Amino acid sequence: MTDTPPDRLSNDPRSKFHDEAALARGIGIRFNGVEKTTVEEYCVSEGWVRMAVGRALDRRGRPITLKFNGEVVPYFLDTAAPEK
């Protein structure tokens, strides 16, 4: 596996962008210069993240998410974090 995280990644196993090997290594996300821990899905090329909002769940038991646009910098947790 390369040291570059995928362009798009999702935590949802039903998504076609779900990559178990990348998630097993651990992914960190820096969004607009701030470390985020509630990211459910991201896309670097389109510049957005989908984050869980609060602790609310939808009727299927999944977290309610909102899509935010901005600079997305993913990195693997087993390597050094990118500079601010």
Predicted pLDDT of residue 58 = 93
**pLDDT tens-place string over residues 18-63:** 999 999 999 999 999 999 999 999 999 999 999 998 899 999 998 8
Report the DSSP pairing between strands 8-10 and 72-76: unpaired
At 58, list the tokens.
């939808």
pLDDT over 60 at 1, yes or no: no
Q: Which amino acid is at 80?
A: A
Question: Is pLDDT above 70 for 80?
Answer: no
pTM of the entire structure?
Answer: 0.86
Q: What is the pLDDT of residue 59?
A: 95
